[in-house]
Chains A and B, each alone.
Chain A
Amino acid sequence: MATINSALQIMAGALTADQAALNVTANNTANASTPGYTRQVAVFQANDPVTISGISYGQGVQMVAAQSQRNLILNANLDQQMQQQQATQAQSTAMQQVQDIFNQVTTSTSGPSPGSLGDLVTNFFNAVSQLETSPTSTALRQGVLSAASTLAGQFNSSAAQLSAQTNGLNQQVIGIVNQINPLLNSIAQLNQQISTASPTADASQLEDQRQYDLQQLSQYIGINTIKTENNGLTITTTSGALLVSEGKAFDLTTGNVSGNVHVFATAAGSSGDITAAQASGGGQLAGLLTTRDQSIPAVQNSIDTLAYDVATQVNAAQLAGVDLNGATGTPLFNIPGTVAGSAAGISVAITDPSKIAAAATGTGPGDNANAVAMANLANQSIVSGQTATDFYASFMSTLGSQVSGLSTLNTAQQASLTQLQNQQSALSSVSLNEEAANLQTYEQAYQSAAQFFNVLQTIVVSALNLGLQTAVA
């Protein structure tokens, strides 16, 4: 038989449950702006009923859990997308800086030529072609020499700027590794705390922190995660090098390999240079490494090829003619023996304008046949099967397309990342309106339960006084 006492107990349980739920709401409201916080929902559960004389009596309620509202698959997707987007963004930013070196575009059709490498190659050949008209003119010969030296200077400065970019990227790689290591240690520590505190169930705020660290880590490096027993998390790089195993973090280290900063994994069994593998791994590290080890060398090779081929051909033309004094021409440019390093190494070899071999062998100083031949190099396919102008034009459009492609890809990936972030926020973020509604609900439930005690008291008093209202108050 149901008793007034059991009703009192049910209401006492309800008060406890409502208090706990109010606690959850308070905690949600307090953490509304905490990064990485996942909102919790108070889970009420009716107590098992008791059956007396064939009648089933409910036994009230208890709050069984404050359940964090997270979706592990969505979180994993978000991390993956973050890794891809950050890789593209880092590469896009770095390549935009590379593009700035070659960004000389016409600013007005009536203004001066913007002086890109390609323009300076043209200017050099134009100076030679002016020499055709008056091959003995010292002023025109000087014009050729100064055009040559401006060209060589621009090659040098472009190569120096590219190598400064590479150095900057090396510093950034070190900076990123310095960001990664504390995160690895933090995750390892959280693994340990979680395995002690909540080996079988969701570890609420500890798990929030771990997820937040993972998201940060995903900005920097491409990773794979594996859930292990006791709610632990094993993290490897996308190429399989172990970074965190349960309570242990394996810090990444950096070292110099032929002038560039390389990244090394340290866990036994998967230690070693992970630089090449991580270039396609994701995270900012991948973007930086791809730019440094693939995109910049390709750009470098293009300008090296331009410098080497133009200088080699001009030098050959010089040797085929005679100078103002009738002597066989000597090379106009100093150029390294191989394409690599040509842009950085090119310089003008002669300082005496009379040494320009404008005349054909066997003719007098007034002949211009060799100058004509040299100027004609401008229209010949002397650089990788193209004219110098066409080569530079296609270099420009390749570089521009690459940068614009990266920027478009970044926008698309960013949009997709935003979508995922929205989905995650929709699920996990605290809504103050919702919490206010919950507060209202739990407050009313608490007030009702409290009021219930009053009523029950009146009933008990009535029972004790057998209908006399005044005996016991």
Chain B
Amino acid sequence: MRINPDFVQGLVSAVNQTQANEQTYTNEISTGVAVNSLSDNPAAASQDYLLRTEINANDSFVQSSGTLSSQMQVADTALGSVVTQVTSAISLATEGANGTLNASNLQSIANQLSGIRDEVVSLANSSYQGQYLFAGSKSQTQPFALGAGTPPAVVYSGDTTLSYTMTPNGQQIQMNLPGSALFGSGSTGVIAALNNLINDFNTGAPSATVTTDIASLTSGMSTVTQQRVILGNSLNRLQASSTYVQSETTQLQAAQNAVIQANPTQLATLLSQAQTQNTSLIDMIASLDAQPTLFSRLN
């Protein structure tokens, strides 16, 4: 059978092909990534996208959970101070209720209680980055104020809306504690109980309601402590989620690496093969050029 006399053309296109291969391998080695366009490996490209979407969502959560836990820690610290203040208020009131103190001592207790009450009100109006922490959803309005009357009524301007944040794994975490649930409003709760006690001691004489009022202050304090436990739990869950998400991200990154990363050893071998092939093809074409045809031998 007659052979194709123009077979050199075929060799030239083979040279082009090996050069294209060299380019691909060099590109993969230099980027370290095996998937440089969707068509290189469509499944890997879309898998890579899904993984990085998850990683991005995780990173975003870790970032915002940092801010959120600072905010919750501020709230927790405020509640801790409230508990300390109220505890000292209870000892003061108990001291005042034992019937051994004179009018001026009672007045002094009333003054001290009044200071504690102001401190508690101020703690109940704690804010973080300009937002009131215990105002429910009305975080731009100062939640607590003392109204008129004796003892003054507690005016709560917030609401009872609870806010939740969602972790990337779909967990709902409570972010806030409404002020009314913590400190009460009107004539209930720790602030009202403090007001009642101040009123009790202000008269300068032992009052019949002191014991009841101490009991309601104690009960108010235990409400604060119970609510604080909710906040503490939320904080723990948030931090645990954040830690979990961070370790998950490390795993996702490892998975992503496995999907897209180039294999340098394999690439080096392939590149070296392509180079050898390219060189031999070029040498071969060059030697064909030097090869005589029958014409050059004719006399």
Taking beta carbons and an 8 Å cutoff, which residues of A are in contact with B?
A: 96, 99-100, 102-103, 105-109, 113, 116, 118-119, 122-123, 125-127, 129-130, 132-137, 359-360, 363-369, 372, 375-376, 378-379, 389-390, 392-394, 396-401, 403-404, 407, 418, 422-423, 425-427, 429-437, 439-440
Q: Which residues of chain A are within 8 angstroms of B295 by Cβ–Cβ distance?
A: 432-433, 435-436, 439
- B36 near A105 with CB under 8 A, answer yes
CB–CB B5/A122 < 8 A:
no
Q: Is A133 a contact partner of B140 (Cβ separation < 8 A)?
A: no
Please report the C-alpha to C-alpha distance between residue A401 and residue B63 in the assembled complex, in whole angstroms: 36
Cβ distance A299 to chain B, nearest Cβ, rounded Å: 12
List residues of chain B with CB within 8 A of the CB of A102: 38
Interface residues of B in 48-63 (CB under 8 A from A): 48-50, 52-53, 56-57, 60-61, 63
Interface residues of B, count at CB 8 A: 70
Q: Does B206 make an interface contact (CB < 8 A)?
A: no
At the interface, yes or no: B244 with Cβ under 8 Å from chain A?
A: no
Q: Are A118 and B260 in contact (CB under 8 A)?
A: no
The one of B137, B141, B294 that contacts A432, using a Cβ cutoff of 8 Å = B294
Quick check: B140 and A365 within 8 Å, CB to CB?
yes
Our pick among A100, A122, A366, A389 for the contact of B135 (Cβ within 8 Å) is A366
**Within residues 146 to 204 of chain B, which ones have a CB less than 8 A from any CB in chain A?**
158-159, 161, 163-166, 170, 175-176
Complex CA–CA separation, A312 to B13 (angstroms): 52
User: Assuming the A-B contacts A364-B159, A407-B39, A433-B294, are A109 and B5 also in contact, with contact meaning beta carbons closer than 8 angstroms in the complex?
Assistant: no
- Listed residue (B36, B60, B132, B170) with the most chain A CB atoms within 10 angstroms of its CB: B60
Q: B163 and A369: CB pair below 8 A? A: yes
A366 with B256, Cβ < 8 A, contacts A126-B57, A359-B137, A433-B294 known: no
Contact partner, A109, options B7, B38, B65, B257, Cβ 8 Å = B257
User: Could you tell me the distance between the alpha carbons of A122 and B293 in the complex, rounded to whole angstroms?
Assistant: 67
14 A-B pairs whose Cβ atoms sit less than 8 Å apart in the complex: A99-B39, A103-B37, A106-B260, A134-B67, A136-B131, A363-B137, A365-B138, A365-B140, A367-B136, A396-B49, A399-B38, A400-B46, A422-B4, A433-B294
* A109-B253, A364-B135 known; A372 vs B165 contact (CB < 8 Å): yes
Contacts of A129 in B (CB 8 A): 57, 60-61, 64, 166
Residues in A whose Cβ lies below 8 Å from that of B48: 105-106
Chain A minimum-CB-distance residue to B58: A126
Contact A99/B37 with A122-B56, A366-B135 known, Cβ cut-off 8 Å: yes
Residues of chain B within 8 A (CB-CB) of A433 are 5, 293-295
Contact code string B60-103 (vs A, CB < 8 Å = 1, else 0): 11011101100100000000000000000000000000000000
Provide the bound-state CA to CA distance between A127 and B60, in Å.
8
Least distance between A373 CB and chain B CB atoms (Å): 10
Which residues of the other chain, B, contact A376 by a CB distance below 8 angstroms? 166
CA distance A103 to B36 in the complex (A): 8
In contact, A366 and B136 (Cβ under 8 angstroms): yes
Chain A residues with CB under 8 A of B13: 418
The reply to whether the CB of B129 lies closer than 8 angstroms to some CB of chain A is yes
B138 near A134: Cβ-Cβ < 8 Å: no
CB B38 to nearest CB in A, in angstroms, measures 3
B1 close to chain A: CB less than 8 A = yes
- Give the residue name and chain of the B residue nearest to A433 (CB): B294
B31 at the interface (CB under 8 A from A): yes
1/0 contact string of B239-262 vs chain A (CB within 8 Å) = 000000000000001001100110
Task: Please measure, in the bound complex, the distance between the C-alpha atom of A430 and the C-alpha atom of B293, giving whole angstroms.
Answer: 13
Say yes or no: A437 contacts B175, CB within 8 Å.
no
With both beta carbons as reference points, the residue of chain A lying nearest to B164 in the complex is identified as A372
B38 to A103, Cβ gap below 8 A?
A: yes
Interface centre among B6, B32, B40, B132 (most CB of A within 10 A): B6
CA distance A396 to B53 in the complex (A): 14
Instruction: Say whether B49 contacts A118, CB under 8 Å.
Output: yes
Beyond A136-B139, A363-B161, is A400–B45 a contact (Cβ under 8 Å)? yes
A99 and B253 contact, CB distance less than 8 A: no
The one of A125, A365, A397 in contact with B42, judged by C-beta atoms closer than 8 angstroms, is A397
Q: For residue B140, which residues in chain A have a CB less than 8 angstroms away from its CB?
A: 136, 364-366
On whether A363 and B6 interact (CB within 8 A), knowing A99-B37, A132-B166, the answer reads: no
Give the chain A neighbours of B135 by CB distance below 8 A. Answer: 364, 366
A397 lies within 8 A of B166 (CB) = no
B290 within 8 A of A: no
Q: Report the Cα distance A404→B7, complex, angstroms.
A: 29
Can you name the residue of chain B whose Cβ is closest to the Cβ of A406? Answer: B39
B290 to chain A: closest CB distance in Å?
15
The reply to whether the CB of B286 lies closer than 8 angstroms to some CB of chain A is no
B298 to chain A, nearest CB (A): 6
B245: shortest Cβ distance to chain A, in Å? 13
User: Smallest Cβ distance from A128 to chain B, in angstroms?
Assistant: 10
Beta-carbon nearest neighbor of A378 in chain B: B57
CB pair A134 B129 closer than 8 Å: yes
**Smallest CB separation, A391 vs chain B (Å):** 11
A429 to B50, Cβ gap below 8 A? Answer: no
A418 to B132, CA, bound (A): 77
A96 to B294, CA, bound (A): 47
The 4 A-B residue pairs whose C-beta atoms are closest, nearest first, are A366-B139, A400-B42, A400-B38, A364-B138
Residue of A nearest to B36 (CB): A105
Query: Are B61 and A436 in touch, CB under 8 angstroms?
Result: no
Q: Is B267 an interface residue (CB 8 A)?
A: no
Cβ B33 vs Cβ A426 within 8 A: no
Taking a contact as CB atoms under 8 Å apart, the answer to whether A113 and B42 are in contact is no
Could you tell me the distance between the alpha carbons of A367 and B140 in the complex, rounded to whole angstroms? 11
Is B43 an interface residue when CB atoms closer than 8 A count as contact? Answer: yes
CA distance A165 to B36 in the complex (A): 21
Residues of A within 8 A of B261 (CB): 109
